[in-house]
């Protein structure tokens, strides 16, 4: 068995969380190294692109969150083997990363700058992407985003939607999903109630 070490900030959710969930669901042991923001200047010196997450596989260090999640998805059977279903899965991963990038760009802002930037997201990009996600879910059967079963697309969607609804992002309403894509609300609840996922979040230290 390969030795795996996942490195990311010690924060709720985030880009490493879908990988953590997949590893937990798949029962694969790994070192979950989480560090405070204050350690980032030192940690980044030893990363390929000065960013996290990274995954160490024995002595090999790799980067890019979606690539890491996809690799782990293949290890755990949570990535489709059918080419078209894999495309549907990747499409959702990429769309959600668009959202992560745009929301992430507001981190570090304060005051009116933050308020205005997030208000623009709430009236523009977020409804557009959330409504698209709802349509994708409906067109693929209403339960999962690809392959008619749980995949890493659902894990990333769960983490992203959970974060948007958490109330921890100032100026992003907790009922945004209800307002613009209500079917994603029941989807979020259903994925969260999957026994392996519910068990993960009941463990001490889980985000």
Give the pairing of strands 54-57 and 60-63. Answer: antiparallel
Q: Dig out the tokens for 149 from the structure.
A: 């079963």
What is the mean predicted confidence (pLDDT) over 119-123?
Answer: 98
What is residue 24's predicted lDDT score, i.e. its pLDDT? 97
C-alpha distances (whole Å) from 99 to each of 32, 63, 126, 148 are 25, 19, 7, 24
What is residue 1's predicted lDDT score, i.e. its pLDDT? 82
C-beta separation of 96 from 102 below 8 A: no
What is the mean predicted confidence (pLDDT) over 185-199?
Answer: 97
What is residue 207's predicted lDDT score, i.e. its pLDDT? 67
Homologous superfamily, domain 4-77+198-202: Glutaredoxin (3.40.30.10)
pLDDT tens digit string along 170-184? 999 999 999 999 999
C-beta separation of 196 from 27 below 8 A: no
Average pLDDT, the chain: 97
Which residues of the chain form CATH 1.20.1050.10? 83-194
What is residue 205's predicted lDDT score, i.e. its pLDDT? 73
d(CA 107, CA 133): 24
Q: Dig out the tokens for 129 from the structure.
A: 């992407």
Taking 90 as the threshold, does the pLDDT of residue 120 lie above it? Answer: yes
What is the mean predicted confidence (pLDDT) over 58-70?
Answer: 98
206 — pLDDT class (breaks 50, 70, 90): confident
Of 32 and 205, the structure prediction assigns the larger pLDDT to 32
Which residues of the chain form CATH 3.40.30.10? 4-77+198-202
B/e letters for 126-153, b = 16+ CB within 10 Å, e = fewer, are beebbeebbebbeebeeebbbbeebbbb
| C-alpha closest to that of 71 among 59, 85, 88, 54 | 54
Overall fold of domain 83-194: Glutathione S-transferase Yfyf (Class Pi); Chain A, domain 2 (1.20.1050)
The alpha carbon of 129 is separated from its chain's Cα centroid by a whole number of angstroms, namely 15
Taking 80 as the threshold, does the pLDDT of residue 22 lie above it? Answer: yes
Taking 80 as the threshold, does the pLDDT of residue 32 lie above it? Answer: yes
| pTM, entire model | 0.96
What is the mean predicted confidence (pLDDT) over 58-62?
Answer: 98
What is the mean predicted confidence (pLDDT) over 15-36?
Answer: 97
d(CA 200, CA 192): 10
């Amino acid at each position: 068995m390969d030795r795996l070490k996942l490195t990311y900030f010690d924060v709720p959710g985030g880009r490493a969380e879908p990988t953590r969930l997949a590893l937990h669901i798949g029962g694969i042991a790994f070192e979950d190294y989480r560090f405070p923001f204050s350690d980032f200047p030192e940690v980044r010196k030893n990363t390929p692109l000065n960013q996290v997450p990274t995954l160490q596989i024995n002595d090999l260090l790799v980067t890019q969150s979606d690539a890491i999640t996809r690799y782990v998805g293949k290890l755990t059977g949570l990535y489709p083997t059918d080419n078209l279903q894999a495309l549907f899965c990747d499409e959702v991963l990429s769309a959600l990363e668009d959202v992560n990038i745009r929301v992430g760009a507001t981190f570090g802002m304060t005051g009116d700058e933050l308020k205005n930037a997030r208000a623009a997201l709430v009236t523009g990009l977020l409804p557009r992407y959330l409504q698209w996600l709802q349509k994708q879910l409906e067109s693929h059967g209403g339960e999962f985003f690809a392959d008619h079963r749980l995949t890493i697309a659902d894990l990333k969607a769960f983490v992203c939607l959970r974060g948007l609804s958490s109330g921890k992002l100032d100026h992003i309403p907790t009922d945004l999903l209800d307002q613009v894509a209500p079917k994603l609300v029941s989807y979020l609840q259903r994925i969260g109630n999957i026994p392996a996922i519910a068990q993960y979040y009941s463990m001490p230290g889980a985000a």
